[in-house]
Structure 1
Amino acid sequence: MGHIEFNPLSKITEDDNYYNKDPTLKDQVHVLVCVVSAETSNILSNEYVKKMRDVRLAARDMGIPEVAILTKIDEACPEVKKDIKNVYKSKYLKKQMEKIKVVLGTPEKSIFPVKNYHSEIDTDDDTDTLILSALRRIINLGEDFVNDQ
Structure 2
Amino acid sequence: MRDSAAGDAMDIVHLLRAVTVELSLRNAEFAASNGMHGTDVRALICLMDALRSGTDMTAGRLGEQLGLNSAGTTGLVDRLERLGHVRRVRDERDRRRVLIEIDERAVALGQSFFGPLIARTVELLDGYDERDRAAVKRFLTGTLRAAEQRS
TM-score by length of 1: 0.27
Pick 1 or 2: higher relative contact order, CA cutoff 8 A, min separation 6: 1
Larger radius of gyration: 2
As a proportion of its length, which structure holds more helix?
2
